[in-house]
Amino acid sequence: MNMHATPQRTLAETALIDAFGERLSLLPGDGAVMLKRDDAIEAIKSGLPTRRIESWHYTDLRRLLTSVPDFDPAAVAKAIAPIVEGSSVLPVLNGVSSAKWAAVEGVTVQRLSEKLTDGSIAPGLDSYGSDDAIGALNTAFVADGYFIDIADGAQLDKPLELQNLQAGGQTHVRLAIRVGAGANAVIVERQAGEGAALVSSVSQLLLGEGAEVTWLVVQEQPDTATHLAQFKAHLGKNSKLTLFVMNAGGKLVRQEVVVKTTGEGADFTLRGINLLAGDTHTDVTMVLDHAVPHTASTEVIRNVVTGRARGVFQGRINVHQYAQKTNAKMACNTLLLSDDGEFSTKPELEIFADDVVCGHGATVTEIDHSHLFYLMARGIDEKTARGLLVKAFVAEVIEELDDEAIVEALEARLDNWFVAHG
Amino acid sequence: MLEIKNLHARIVDDGTEIIRGLNLTVRAGEVAAIMGPNGSGKSTLSYILAGREDYEVTEGDILYNGQSILEMDPAERATAGIFLAFQYPMEIPGVATMEFLKVAMNEQRKARGQEPLKIPEFLKRVKEAAASLNMDMTMLKRPLNVGFSGGEKKRAEILQMKLLEPKLCVLDETDSGLDIDALKIVADGVNTLRSPDRAIVVITHYQRLLQYIVPDTVHVLYRGQVIKSGDKSLALDLEANGYAGVIGQAA
């Protein structure tokens, strides 16, 4: 009798394991990379995370991932216009990077497939914990992406837009970026496509001393796609990262944000908007480690929930014992516009230092009736007035970005969502 | 233009009756002042005219140009030409003031079958109206009423009134929170809107505003009823002798 029977594999688990066997010969990597892939697929063989795993409690991946599409070599995705005109675009189409790109001063670009083949990316493929299912899925299958180096002191005057575009099937992409000391850049991570795809995408960012980066994740997958993404960053001394995450699509979405302040004076800002519609599930899970003294972070997440959509925000802030003078504030506000929608928020502060300022708050509201009355009293019909107020609720977070071109670009994406779902 | 007949109204939440058999007629071209002590129902009356859902009319009717407005929502009343200048204008973060003005003007135009304003024409109108009220255009770049001082909010209300060109203007305590210079500017703004086809209802606690916006008629509201009507001399009488005398006569 088998006392340790593993539960029967789900269709999705079986499909992933079979796909790995079929893809193995096509996957780039030296010995070290292939060992990481083996470890990763072993993790998947032991089962996708369920609600019994704390960090997956609200997103039972094993239950929610009902099917996994085959790889589709015939799929054709096309690059799209960047959100900010004049940006340098680096496209990944159906999981394949481009061999040529327009040179930008101070920026060195390599295809990730080359870094996998020569094994130099191998140390970056480690998962960050035992429940890192997205990391494992990506490490097992990742075939391409970009490795980008922004030189010390480089000042990028135009955004760099990384487009990960799918046209169905499976794509597993990794974007690794090192930003040198004192460098300054706006990076747009565009996640979109047209197919019933399974996408895993991992972004890794290393910020050197005094570097300043604004990173915008604009996720607009179709409501047929599963999008499993991870953003990992290390913030060096006196560096500043503003991460903006916009989820405006996808059937099953999990965006993990894993940030560690490793240098004193580092400053992290997270702003997120989740626009949820239809019968979809969207999860933003952040793990932030304040690992050194004198670092600051603020997180504001705004959610609009319509239809039967379900949303999750988990924000975990770990303040390490020697990370004195940490200043951390987190807020999650939800506008619930439907009786059938839901949003779950779980803030977690784990503080081992004794001289810190940390706080969190969460609200769930409906539209403010006195605001609605005021707008209607000026002749704006109810539907338009509601639209203005809902947009205002999330636009507030966008306007904080304080860069006209970026604010306009993001508001255009916002309008796009409201036209489709308003 | 406005005929209020035996109006009874209560707060939806707790059923408290605020308006108790109110009668009032305001003709086109007329400036009518409604005065009364605190708690007499002045602000409630203004909200009911604008169609706020927190109040429920239980008896009587409100006719605007001969038509009952009770079944109309606030937006329909506004596009029909009724404008309420709020005593406490709402601060709405995230809604840009200019965007709001444009949407409001164009929604009203749309409801009247007019084309939306072209951007240069819209900007020209806003600039002119703002200049006449001594308002800084940078203020209008902020979110709607957010961070405005009390006086700035009141000016912004009059700015909206000028831009929307309503037929029935209801001003709820527009003088509160204004210093004397601002009061003159606001009153001038209102006076320029006086016209034979427009009626203005000025709700105020004090006679001060009426020195600058001189009313044709004055009505005293007490416990949800108009207990006395007269011309502008009634306001002076109230200022000199207080409400007690008038209330005493009515009782």
B78/A378 touch (CB, cutoff 8 Å), yes or no:
yes
Chain B contact for A383 (CB, 8 A cutoff): no
Distance, CA of B167 to chain centre: 11
Identify which of A11, A52, A62 has the alpha carbon closest to the alpha carbon of residue A252: A62
Answer whether A396 touches B (CB < 8 Å): yes
Pair of tokens at residue B132: 């006449």
Residues composing chain A: 422
* Residue A281 and residue A64 in contact, taking contact as beta carbons nearer than 8 Å: yes
CB A248 within 8 A of CB A282: no
Residue B12 at interface with chain A, using a CB cutoff of 8 Å: no
Determine whether the interchain pair A393/B94 forms a contact, defined as Cβ–Cβ distance below 8 Å: yes
CA angle (A365 as vertex; A307, A342 as ends), nearest 5: 35
Binned at pLDDT 50, 70 and 90, residue A1 comes out as: very low
What the block records as the tokens of A300 is 């504001």
- CB of A408 within 8 Å of a chain B CB? The answer is no
User: What is d(CA B20, CA B22) in angstroms, rounded to the nearest whole number?
Assistant: 6
**pLDDT tens digits along B106-157:** 999 998 899 999 999 999 999 999 999 989 888 898 899 998 988 889 999 9
What number of other Cβ atoms are within 10 A of residue A30's Cβ? 14
CA distance B157 to chain A (A): 10
Asked if B103 has any chain A CB less than 8 Å from its own CB, the reply is: yes
Helix H or strand E segment including A421 = helix A404-421
Distance to chain B for A18, nearest Cα, Å: 50
Give the integer Cα–Cα distance in Å for A269 and A242. 5
- pLDDT tens per residue across span A54-69: 999 999 999 999 989 9
pLDDT at A160 over 90: yes
Task: Write down the residue that tokens 């029909």 correspond to.
Answer: B80
Q: How far apart are CA B237 and CA B243, in angstroms?
A: 9
Determine the distance in angstroms separating the CA of A377 from the nearest CA of chain B, rounded to an integer: 5
The answer to whether A400 contacts chain B (CB < 8 Å) is no
Nearest residue of B to residue A390, measured between CA atoms? B94
Phi and psi torsions of A401, nearest 5°: -65, -25
Say how far apart CA A66 and CA B139 lie, in whole Å. Answer: 53
Record: contact A378-B73, CB cut-off 8 A: no
* B157: closest chain A residue by CA: A378
The residue in chain A having the minimum alpha-carbon distance to the alpha carbon of residue B86 is A374
pLDDT band of residue A341 (cuts 50, 70, 90) is very high
Pairing mode, strands A226-235 and A198-207? parallel
C-beta of residue A211 within 8 angstroms of C-beta of residue A236: yes
With a CB cutoff of 8 Å and minimum separation 6, the contacts of A70 are A15, A19, A169, A170
- For the segment A386-406, what is each residue's pLDDT rounded down to a tens digit? 999 999 999 989 988 989 999
pLDDT range class, residue A197, cuts 50, 70, 90: very high
Boundaries of every domain in chain A: 11-370
Residue A394 touches chain B, beta carbons under 8 Å = yes
pTM of the model: 0.86
Task: Name the pairing type of β-strands B17-26 and B2-11.
Answer: antiparallel
* Number of helices and strands in chain A (H, E): 8, 19
Q: Which helix (H) or strand (E) holds B94?
A: strand B92-96
Count Cβ atoms within 10 A of the Cβ of residue A99 and give its class: 0-12 exposed, 13-18 middle, 19 or more buried.
exposed
Chain A CA closest to residue B53: A373
Homologous superfamily (CATH) for B2-250:
P-loop containing nucleotide triphosphate hydrolases (3.40.50.300)
CA distance A196 to A354: 49
How confident is the model over B167-206, as pLDDT tens digits?
A: 999 999 988 888 888 899 889 989 999 999 999 999 998 8
Each residue's pLDDT tens digit, A199-239: 999 999 999 999 999 999 999 999 999 999 999 999 999 99
Nearest-Cα distance to chain B for A415, in Å, is 14
Taking CB atoms and an 8 Å limit, are A379 and B78 in contact across chains? yes
H-helix segments, chain B: 42-50, 74-79, 97-111, 119-132, 150-164, 180-191, 208-212, 232-241, 244-250
Res. A7: pLDDT tops 70 = no
- Summarize the confidence of residues B35-50 as an average pLDDT: 93
